[in-house]
Amino acid sequence: MMKHKMIRRTYNSAHHIGAIAISALLLVTIPVTSVFAYTDVPVNGANKLIDIFPGTGTETQLAYDVSMQIGAGGNVNYIPTQTQLNTVTTISLPMSGIGSILGVQHCPNLNYLYLKYCDITDDQADVIATLTNLRNLDLQANLVTSKVIDYIQNLNLIKLWLSYNTGVTSDGLEKLPASPMCIRL
């Protein structure tokens, strides 16, 4: 008959405490960003809404309107992410006199842009041209001319309002696509 030798393991408290200390040290020194990937970054690095949609006086209305839509509660100093700006589908600021729409290019899913009586000029039409999802554009009673058509001709607009702009004539309308579009001059 074979005798089994009983091996007794002793508990080494120093070894156990050392393992806990090393584990704690690893938790402290490993940055959280290396464990969790943060994929949504602020627009343009870390700009506030008022920096993305610049303006003074009534022009801050655009930043305010976007902040309300993305859940920032009117805080124009809020730093939005691109994902938040992707949720903006409508900007409606009639008679606000904002004068500048710089920044709307950061809202790629914008479908409806209503800017009646806002002092918008032709030199801002290039910003509108970047909005490939735009379907409804209201620029009535602004300061645009027929040159605006050169910028918006490649958009798939369904409705376009250009009436009450003294510089807009029917010249150039042939440049617009022959899609089902309602144009009001």
Q: How does pLDDT run across 42-67, given as a tens digit for each residue?
A: 665 658 998 998 876 666 899 999 99
Give Cα 19 distance to the centre of its chain: 47
Query: Does some domain include residue 98?
Result: yes
pTM above 0.85, yes or no: no
Q: Which of 15-19, 50-54, 129-133 has the lowest mean pLDDT?
A: 15-19
Comparison of pLDDT for 69 and 22, the residue scoring more: 69
Whether residue 78 is predicted with pLDDT greater than 90 in this model: the reply is: yes
Query: Does some domain include residue 25?
Result: no
CATH of the domain at 143: 3.80.10.10
CB 61 within 8 A of CB 93: yes
Number of structural domains found in the chain: 1
Comparison of pLDDT for 22 and 139, the residue scoring more: 139
The domain in which residue 151 lies consists of 88-184
CB 39 within 8 A of CB 46: no
